[in-house]
Structure 1
Amino acid sequence: MGGEVPYYWKALDWDALMADYPPPPLFERAAAVRTDEEWRELQETRVLARIRDAWSVPFYRKRWTAAGLDENSIRSLEDLRYIPTFSSDDLKAAIEARPPFGEHHPFDRNSMADHLPLKLQTSGGTTGLPRTTAFDSIAWEVQGIQAARGLWAMGARPGDVIQIPFTTSLANAAWCYYVGVHHWLGGVPVTTGSGVVTPSERQLELASAYGTNGWMGHGEYLGRLVEVAGAMNFDLHSLPTKYIQALLGNDGAGELRRALEEAWGAPVYDTYGTHEIGLIAFECRMQDGRHVSEDTAYLETVDIDDSTRELPPGQVGDLVATSLHRGVPPLIRFNTQDALAILPRARCECGLRTTRLSGMQGRSDEMVKLRGQSVFPMACQDSVRADSRTNGQFLCVLTSDGTGVSKKTEMTVRVERRGTDIDSDALQHDLERALKTALNVRVGVEIVDAGTLTEFTRLGGEGKVRRLLDLRSK
């Protein structure tokens, strides 16, 4: 490249970007009138373009050739099912095969300069190198547009002060929302970072000082702020909060949502996204399923035990996502291993006409077999939160019992009681009964004091709250 600088502002045709991936309020107008045929044509055109990109990438070329495919095999959306899915484990293997970026990127360290401007973000990384995903200018801005769409749909408007308790680090969530608020909504982002970066007490003080109108964060951490406010004698209702967008996870009975709405005095809207593809779906003000940004992702569901078997709309399975905007790197039939259902496209009272996603059931890579019953650890959440004697925090601990063919898995749910005055024996007995009903299998319950589980769940830290600790012998 010599001395030429690839200025970011010149990397995009901004008018074309807005036409292809309309930010709010343009998206609401487009999605309100687009027919099924128009959606299909748009998605098919973009899927086929991304597949052409992927043939030049070693990760895909090797996998697809081994599956008997060639560059002319996929001619329509219906043909997409012939492409094998892949998971985060396959991406980890791709990075091990060609570090540091992996075979799934169209460049290595020496050729990276040919693809500038780029930003590197990571996911995972508890062992070995973290899972790296490069963002070119289109991917960077589209994820911001996705976030802005979700915020607009729940009522955010230009001039709103929006607090983002995610840290602008190698993890991507904070950046996604910063770009959305700053570039595509006209709001004022307050990037406080997690509770590790900005203590929870200070988060509330800043919200009061700056007049924060909206929040975006993990549901569990927003619940932690409720506890901190109580300890500070801080009145959350004194804040000018108009809305909260949260990653609620498995909240089928709505216990977490109701608790947050009551404590904050504002509506709470669920959302769903991935590190690689961005904010895939969001709730509108109707709180009736999460609208899919269908011009940015094509979604399928497959059987959790057999990824080659597609599932019909409305049936829970592993979500398989194909990015419609990502060429660096392409993401074709990525099995997120998030268990949920795709709901048929229909017009919402908000005006949007899109497919929708159900709430989360859990992650299939965390699903545990207990005496023949499939159990998602997150399925414990509703029962724990429904009991006011707990503070909502829990951790599922797996152990093994026996040896050889008689070896079996056991699960104990450790639950934090709200205070030391709570009768542990009574709470344990009641939760064992509640969880037996919720999970259809008996599990043990251990009551612990508030704060005991934080080192394992990482509540208030970076990334997702963890609910599973596997102590089984190998």
Structure 2
Amino acid sequence: MERPHYYWQALDWQKLTRDYPPPGLFEQTTGRMSGDEIRALQNERFLERVADAWKFPFYRDRWRAAGLEPGDISSIDDIEKIPPFTSDDLKAAIERDPPFGDHQPGSPAFLTENHVRILTSGGTTGLPRITLFDANALEVQGIQSARGFWAQGLRPSDIIQITYTNSLANAAWCTLSGAFHWIGAIPMTTGSGIVTSSERQLQYAKAWGTTAWFTRAEYLARLAQVAQETGFDLHQLKTRQVHSHIGPDADGSRRRKLEEAWNAPVYDNYGTHEIGAIAFECREKSGMHLSEDTVYVEIADIGTGEILPPGRTGNLIATSLYRSVPPIIRFNMRDLLALYPRETCGCGLCTQKLSNFRGRSDEMVKLRGTNVYPLACMEAVSRDPRTNGEYICVVSHEGEGLSRRERFVVQVERRAGEIDAETLRIDMEAALHRDLGVRVDVEIVDPGSLAAHTGLGTQNKTKRLLDLRK
């Protein structure tokens, strides 16, 4: 006779909090480990994950093709012997063995016997990419998020307004778990603008006393714009801090504008669908602390794949130290960041740190011999007060035969219809030339006209590239 499975029985909760300390414990334990201590812990967990991975055809076939056999990887020092993979390889794994792929367990017995959640990533064309999450993965990702929120000032008395939608995407669930399960703050899951309009978001925040926000920087700017258009005073809110993903912001101007608008500190975080919220700023705002007991990070050269020394920007390659459903061993995220050595921060934590997010290498466009990244346009667009910060890069082909070439156009929304489009276009082309190192065309469009392409206010991620070459 089939019986219900109770979630509280899915984990040894005391062991979980010993292995992956949540806020209040993290700062006194793994958050202060010496370099040798954290390396030993990473090595132990890495070897466990490698043993898990050998059970799946995805890893077994790839590793044997690279000349590896079980036992060849004897420590984390051997990690570079393992070939990295990308999301394209995961898509191929799902095509080979639908619906879950040959990289993760998907048998009826496993799905029946375990608490499993289906979450997805991607899906711009075709079905999104499925990732299975067991109870351990769900709770560790909640702990990762909570560590960052706590370091940024979130406390049990806070009401945190979450403007990511609780959907098949993972970000909102991580936030909900981190704030609710592992801090005891009060979540208000308003979702994106398509779920709760921007005007209502602000009304709820005022009426119900929101003190913290979790939102993308783009949507934070959009809410500030709506407040200005409707005469809503953001400074009347009780906002104490904003937890966000700021994106490219080399000179800090984007953060400063947001903090001035909201009259509160804005903190940066980094995470991905598969590995969770692995890096977070503290109140020092001096780089993002890496949750080193949950992930091992390498930075690789975009072209050669060579592992780069500290401080150099390249593709982030992540190895999850806690996931066995599925194992994640050397996943090339194609996110551009830099990694910095371990040091004791003014907040007391001693960890490696990540730089701010600097773009995606798979969105790179080669334009007259220069690598151009759509997210690199963000700073120039955001700096100009005549824009509302919204833009999209449109890449297409023009001409035929030998005269065929790529055209790169940055469409930029002006803040209001009365702003002179031609003057703004000329100034924006000059600013982008300085930032990108190559000339691009600019088209000025009216406010709100790009939302259908960028997904602002309707999706958890904002698109900055529209590729019409295919």
After TM superposition, the score normalised by the length of structure 2 is: 0.98
Q: Corresponding residue for 1:89? A: 88
Which amino acid in 2 is paired with 1:322?
T
> Contact 1:347–1:353 at 8 Å: present in 2 too?
yes
Q: Corresponding residue for 2:235? A: 237
Q: Corresponding residue for 1:27? A: 26
> Contact 2:160–2:188 at 8 Å: present in 1 too?
yes
> Contact 1:295–1:324 at 8 Å: present in 2 too?
yes
Unaligned runs of 5+ residues in structure 1 are none
Q: Corresponding residue for 2:49? A: 50
Question: 1:30-109 maps to which residues of 2 (within 5 A)?
Answer: 30-108=29-107
Classify the secondary structure of the residue corresponding to 1:300. strand
1:242 CA displacement? 0.5
- Say whether residues 1:112 and 2:110 are aligned partners: yes
> Contact 1:12–1:137 at 8 Å: present in 2 too?
yes
- Say whether residues 1:367 and 2:359 are aligned partners: no
How far apart, in 2, do the equivalents of 1:434 and 1:471 lie? Answer: 25
Q: Corresponding residue for 1:267? A: 265
The 4+ residue runs of structure 1 with deviation greater than 6 A are: none
- Once structures 1 and 2 are overlaid, which stretch shifts more, 181-190 or 396-405? 396-405
- Say whether residues 1:347 and 2:344 are aligned partners: yes
Q: Corresponding residue for 1:12? A: 11
* 1:128-162 CA distance string (max 9 Å, x none): 22111111111000110011100000111112100
> Contact 1:250–1:381 at 8 Å: present in 2 too?
yes
Which of 382, 392, 395 is 1:395 aligned to?
A: 392
Classify the secondary structure of the residue corresponding to 1:73. coil
Which amino acid in 1 is paired with 2:295?
A
Classify the secondary structure of the residue corresponding to 2:29. helix
> Contact 1:21–1:142 at 8 Å: present in 2 too?
yes
How far apart, in 1, do the equivalents of 2:388 and 2:203 lie? Answer: 23
Which amino acid in 2 is paired with 1:435?
L
Q: Corresponding residue for 1:440? A: 437
1:209 CA displacement? 1.4
How far apart, in 2, do the equivalents of 1:407 and 1:362 lie? Answer: 27
Q: Corresponding residue for 2:121? A: 123
Which of 218, 222, 225 is 1:224 aligned to?
A: 222
> Contact 1:32–1:347 at 8 Å: present in 2 too?
no
After TM superposition, the score normalised by the length of structure 1 is: 0.97
> Contact 2:152–2:281 at 8 Å: present in 1 too?
yes
1:251 CA displacement? 1.8
> Contact 2:159–2:187 at 8 Å: present in 1 too?
yes
How far apart, in 1, do the equivalents of 2:110 and 2:262 lie? Answer: 46
Which of 189, 197, 203 is 1:205 aligned to?
A: 203
> Contact 2:32–2:351 at 8 Å: present in 1 too?
no
- Say whether residues 1:162 and 2:160 are aligned partners: yes
1:366 CA displacement? 0.1
Which of 372, 377, 382 is 1:380 aligned to?
A: 377
Classify the secondary structure of the residue corresponding to 1:280. strand
How far apart, in 2, do the equivalents of 1:173 and 1:407 lie? Answer: 41
Q: Corresponding residue for 1:464? A: 461
How far apart, in 2, do the equivalents of 1:405 and 1:118 lie? Answer: 54
Q: Corresponding residue for 2:251? A: 253
How far apart, in 1, do the equivalents of 2:405 and 2:67 lie? Answer: 39
1:113 CA displacement? 2.9
- Once structures 1 and 2 are overlaid, which stretch shifts more, 357-366 or 397-406? 397-406
How far apart, in 2, do the equivalents of 1:155 and 1:120 lie? Answer: 31
1:405 CA displacement? 5.0
1:58 CA displacement? 1.3
* Identical aligned residues as a percent: 56
Which amino acid in 2 is paired with 1:151?
F
Classify the secondary structure of the residue corresponding to 1:127. coil
How far apart, in 2, do the equivalents of 1:189 and 1:381 lie? Answer: 30
* 1:244-294 CA distance string (max 9 Å, x none): 011111122222211110000000000000000100100000111000011
Q: Corresponding residue for 1:325? A: 322
Q: Corresponding residue for 1:214? A: 212
How far apart, in 1, do the equivalents of 2:18 and 2:31 lie? Answer: 15
Unaligned runs of 5+ residues in structure 2 are none
Which of 121, 146, 149 is 1:148 aligned to?
A: 146
> Contact 1:165–1:217 at 8 Å: present in 2 too?
yes
Which amino acid in 2 is paired with 1:346?
E
1:303 CA displacement? 1.0
Classify the secondary structure of the residue corresponding to 1:79. helix
Classify the secondary structure of the residue corresponding to 1:272. strand
- Once structures 1 and 2 are overlaid, which stretch shifts more, 230-239 or 432-441? 230-239
1:114 CA displacement? 5.0
Residues 237/59 of structure 1: CA separation in 2 closer, same or farther (3 Å cut):
same
> Contact 1:56–1:106 at 8 Å: present in 2 too?
no
1:203 CA displacement? 0.7
How far apart, in 2, do the equivalents of 1:232 and 1:276 lie? Answer: 39
How far apart, in 1, do the equivalents of 2:244 and 2:446 lie? Answer: 26
Superposed CA RMSD in Å reads 1.2
Residues 444/382 of structure 1: CA separation in 2 closer, same or farther (3 Å cut):
same
> Contact 1:31–1:354 at 8 Å: present in 2 too?
no
1:340 CA displacement? 0.9
Which amino acid in 1 is paired with 2:155?
R
- Once structures 1 and 2 are overlaid, which stretch shifts more, 120-129 or 84-93? 120-129
